[in-house]
Amino acid sequence: MARAGLAPHGFPAPLGADGARRSRASSLLRAGRSRKGEAGAALLLVLVAVALLAAVAGAALRSAHATSEAARLFVREVVADEASRAAIDLARAEISALDSVAQRRGQLRYRLGAASLTVDFLSENGRIDWHRAAPPLLNAVLLGAGLSERQAGLLTSSIALSDPTITGNGGMGRKAAHMGFAPPPPPSGAQGAVTAPTSVSQPRPQSLAALMSLPGITPEVFARIAPLFSPCAGSGPIDPGIASLPIVAALMEGDAGRATAFLAQQAEREPDAATPSQFPSSMQSFVASTAKTASGVRLDVTVEVDGLIRRHTGVLCVPSGDFAAADLLDWTLLP
């Protein structure tokens, strides 16, 4: 018996008209489904490509913006640094025209293009000339800075015996004064330095960082004593009216109470009102009797350029009062 749909000889029976239409419809349906699947996959690929392109474009825009901001910041920093350098020359010229009292301290303001500059200056005559200071003064200042007697003695030895510019009887005199802490002869231009040495060469300004090479000076000790010393040579007797409390206390033989009262009194007086007679007789030779031309000027420069603020500090050392030959030392960018 023949099976349904098969011809008697076993082969598929020929399709009728309806069967042919159904077969074609089935084929078209399968083809349509295939094309829809391919179209969906293509659409997915297009969406992924668009997303990737959008991500790349966004990253490129962000990178371009960051690069532009970095470039603008770099330009502002360059302008600020150059303006700070220019402020040094402007301040040098203006301070050199002031008298010795006005040179003690003050503030200057300038405008250079987009940069606003403020220069606060303070004479170095209120600090210790570590090149030539007498050992008793060195020791007293180190004690005033809070060092122990042992630390102060060791550092006084390191500083007092390290000066390569004093030779002959002058160097021996300084050494002898240190070893016995004997009061030195009255100073002649230097802070208690021995007078009339056999051979003395004027010390050149030297960065305070040189103190770090001396025995007994650790970073902690250096941070404590550096504000009390000047890198400039030849500052002479100290101007107590612009000195810090530890230095005035040293000049008061360690009496911090008298030093505080003196500074409070100075704040209410004329700038040049201090006299050596206000100090103990053993320290009067280290005190300036009147304001004199600055041996150096500490400059604190603040520059503002389009919202960017940069602060620098440094010391302008003035040999023999000649501002034209001044050296800039310890120029530092402040945080």
Domain borders along the chain are: 43-125+293-334
> What 8-state DSSP symbol labels residue 6?
B
Distances (CA, A) of 29 to 18, 22, 23, 37, 39: 16, 10, 10, 12, 15
Q: CA-to-CA distance for 217 and 221, rounded, in angstroms?
A: 6
Q: Give the pLDDT score at 33.
A: 57
167: its two tokens: 């030779």
**Burial of residue 309, with CB atoms counted within 10 A of its CB: 0-12 exposed, 13-18 middle, 19 or more buried:** exposed
Tell me what the pLDDT averaged over the chain comes to. Answer: 78
> To 10 degrees, the CA torsion angle through 64, 66, 72, 74?
-120
- 20-29, 53-62, 298-307: range with lowest mean pLDDT: 20-29
Top-confidence range, 29-43, 60-74, 148-162, 179-193: 148-162
CATH number for the domain formed by residue range(s) 43-125+293-334? 3.30.1300.30
Q: CA-to-CA distance for 129 and 236, rounded, in angstroms?
A: 8
Query: Reduced to 3 states, what is the DSSP secondary structure of residue 319?
Result: helix
Helix (H) or strand (E) holding 330: strand 327-334
pTM listed for this prediction: 0.69
159: its two tokens: 């500083």
